[in-house]
A = this chain, B = another copy of it.
């Protein structure tokens, strides 16, 4: 993430999971359901965001690059620099598609969609 929060650099995964996520307009768009870790490197693959009924896509999740999550203390949540429309059109996956072998596919497609530089090169 790009901001220093209280001058700390470390955050436990258990503290990240369950945190609310907002978009740039301040709309509450979901919750961090999990954090996907790369077994074969030291990289945080992506955050798994659940949007509930908001996008009307049932149990689908978005794979948001870790670097795009900006914690804002006054909101007690993360803000992602994406509009509602961008998120609506973003790739969405089931939990099975995100874990296991397909995690990489979701990662690659999502980084491309959000135009975020890959960490794995």
Residue positions of A touching B, CB distance < 8 A? 1-17, 34-40, 42-45, 48, 66-67, 71, 95, 98-104, 107, 119
Contacts and interface: CB of A to CB of B under 8 A. Distances in A.
Majority SS of interface residues in chain A? mixed
B100 A40 contact: no
A35 B48 CA distance: 15
A70 B2 CA distance: 30
Contacts of A14: 13, 17, 34
Contact of A35 (B9, B37, B43, B71): B37
Contacts of A12: 34-37, 48, 95, 98-99
Given A7-B101, A10-B104, A104-B9, A16 B42 contact: no
Contact of A40 (B4, B6, B48): B4
Contacts of A37: 10-13, 16, 35, 44, 66
A13 B8 contact: no
Given A12-B48, A17-B13, A39 B100 contact: no
